[in-house]
Structures are given as structure tokens and as C-alpha cells.
Structure 1
Amino acid sequence: MNLDIEKYKKVRMAQAQGARTIEELKEKSDIVIENNEELKEIETLLQNVCKCKNVSVKEVVNAVKNGADTVEKVSESTGAGTVCGRCKSIIANIVENKR
């Protein structure tokens, strides 16, 4: 990944606040996307919840739709949040908002 660590943090923080698209990311942060390469990296990052276990937003949403109503249940079902735990706030937002 070539994305600057500060931009990475901004994306993750915005995800924890519910950002799932570039438009929502821009609403929830002051991020400046410099070029198409950065845009593609950020779009890929927005589709991913857990980098350690490579778990997508779609997988977490499906787990929630199938009854995982806590971060712990999502983690059991998908593996997300079981290594470093930094994605737990994103998982919690998905559980809370079911999206």
C-alpha cells in the first residue's frame, strides 16, 4: 500500500463513523485525494473492514444480517477483529447501523 499513514488513519476513522463511499469519506474527514492511484487505494480500503484477516465490509454486513448482533459475534463469524483489534470500531458501527 502506498497510501500515506495519515490518510489511512483518516479513512479508518471515517469508516468508524459510518463512511462507506468516497462521498461519505469526504463528508466525515478533511482528506484530500491527490490522484487516481490514491483514489483506487482508498476505494479498496473502504471495502475492507479488517486488514489483518482480509475481511470485507460485505462479509461483516452479511454476518450482521445473519444474526451477529455484537462485535464479538461478528468476530467469531468472520475472524475480523481477532488479530490486532483496530477494526473493532468499524465493526461496531456496522453492527449499530446494519450497513
Structure 2
Amino acid sequence: MAGNKIVCHCKQVDYITIRKAMIDGARTIEEIKEKTGAGTGCGGCIPAIEEILASVCGCKGTSLQSVIDAVKKGADTVEKVGQITGAGTECGRCKALIQNVIDLGK
């Protein structure tokens, strides 16, 4: 998702706010709702939130599950995750989220 567009119009929650919640450990719709309020109005944004939750690196199209799998297989640094998945090797905006996955193991 390019730029910082509003994802949840009912609560005026933008993409970056959702990504920051993910960096803070949110991995489910319920956790995003709790941390940001997104998805607690009409619910029309839930599919967009699910799409954001599923992705770590937009540049390389790397899924959250791919990063989790790499960590479970022993990738214990952002660089090692990048070598395996490609995530974090282009613009680097996803490095904080990758580090959070390493730290939490999820």
C-alpha cells in the first residue's frame, strides 16, 4: 500500500498507524482494533487490515509468514532474514517490523 492513506475511514486510522501497531507486536485484527481503533466502526476496512497484516515487505512482496518461517529456521538478524526472504533489502522501511518478529518469534 503506497503512502500513508487512510485505511479505516470510520476511525481515521492510516496505514502507518497500523504498521506501527504491528511493530509494537500486533498480529491479529483484534490486536489492531485494540491498539488503533481501526475496524471497530463499520468493519469495511477489515479486508484491508488483513492484507496489511499479511505483508512485511511491500518492495519484495514478502509475507509475514515467510519472515516468521525464516526466524523459526534460525534467522536471528534482520540481515539473515533478508538473505532468506528478501525482506528489508531494498528501501529498509520494514526492518523495524522484521526485528520485532525476531524479538517476539511471531
Q: Do both proteins adopt the same fold according to a TM-score greater than 0.5, normalized to the shorter chain?
A: yes
**What is the count of residue pairs matched by the alignment?**
99
Partner of 2:25: 18
Contact 1:10 1:31 in 2 (8 A): no
- Aligned counterpart for 1:52 among listed residues 56, 59, 73: 59
Q: CA shift at 1:4, angstroms? A: 1.7
Greater fraction of residues in helix:
1
- In the alignment, the residues of structure 2 paired with residue 19 and residue 91 of structure 1 have an alpha-carbon distance, to the nearest angstrom, of 13
Q: CA shift at 1:7, angstroms? A: 1.2
Runs of 4+ in 1 over 6 A off after TM superposition: none
1:9 aligns with 2:9: no
User: Please, what TM-score do these two structures have when normalized by structure 1?
Assistant: 0.88
Partner of 1:73: 80
Secondary structure, counterpart of 1:67 in structure 2: coil
Contact 1:50 1:81 in 2 (8 A): yes
| 1:1-49 deviations in Å (ceiling 9; x for gaps) | 5952751001100010111111111222243555454210111110111
Partner of 2:100: 93
Secondary structure, counterpart of 2:51 in structure 1: helix
Q: CA shift at 1:84, angstroms? A: 1.0
- In the alignment, the residues of structure 1 paired with residue 63 and residue 95 of structure 2 have an alpha-carbon distance, to the nearest angstrom, of 13
Secondary structure, counterpart of 1:49 in structure 2: strand
Query: Which structure has more RCO (C-alpha within 8 Å, separation ≥ 6)?
Result: 1
Question: What aligned pairs does 1:29-48 form with structure 2 within 5 A after superposition?
Answer: 29-31=36-38, 35-48=42-55
User: Between the two proteins, what is the percent identity of the paired residues?
Assistant: 46
Q: C-alpha root-mean-square deviation of aligned residues, in Å? A: 2.1
Partner of 2:68: 61
- In the alignment, the residues of structure 2 paired with residue 66 and residue 18 of structure 1 have an alpha-carbon distance, to the nearest angstrom, of 20
Greater fraction of residues in strand:
2
Partner of 2:91: 84
